[in-house]
């Protein structure tokens, strides 16, 4: 099930820390309350995005995993 989102980043094929760095850059340009969808293939991105949200204060709205692809929905706070 797809969560509504305002922006999208395809970080599939990129390894740590690039998915989080791309998300951090995108969120920096977003308005408060907007949602970013990030698609990644690096299994390490799960713990990386958890840490990113804890440290940045942004909200992980939802997370999906399917066939080795990880999709994160992050709301800028």
Q: What was the pLDDT predicted at 2?
A: 72
Listed as ranges, residues in the chain with pLDDT below 70 are 1
**What is the pTM for the complete model shown?**
0.93
Q: What was the pLDDT predicted at 41?
A: 97
Q: Judging by DSSP bridges, how do beta strands 7-11 and 59-66 pair with one another? A: unpaired
Could you give the residue numbers annotated as active site? 16
| Helix extents (H) in the chain | 18-28, 45-56
State how far the alpha carbon of 76 is from the alpha carbons of 14, 30, 38, in Å.
Answer: 23, 7, 13
Q: Map residue 9 onto helix, strand or coil.
A: strand
Q: In order of start, what are the domains of the chain with their CATH numbers?
A: 7-75 (3.30.110.40)
Q: How far is CA 44 from the centre of its chain?
A: 12
State how far the alpha carbon of 42 is from the alpha carbons of 2, 18, 25, 57, in Å.
Answer: 20, 10, 18, 23
């Amino acid at each position: 099930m797809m969560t509504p989102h305002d922006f999208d980043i395809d970080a599939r094929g990129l390894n740590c820390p690039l998915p989080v760095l791309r998300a951090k850059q995108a969120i920096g340009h977003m308005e408060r309350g907007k949602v970013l969808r990030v698609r990644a293939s690096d299994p390490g991105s799960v713990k990386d995005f958890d840490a990113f949200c804890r440290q940045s204060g942004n909200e992980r709205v939802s997370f999906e995993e399917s066939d080795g692809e990880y999709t994160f929905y992050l709301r800028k706070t």
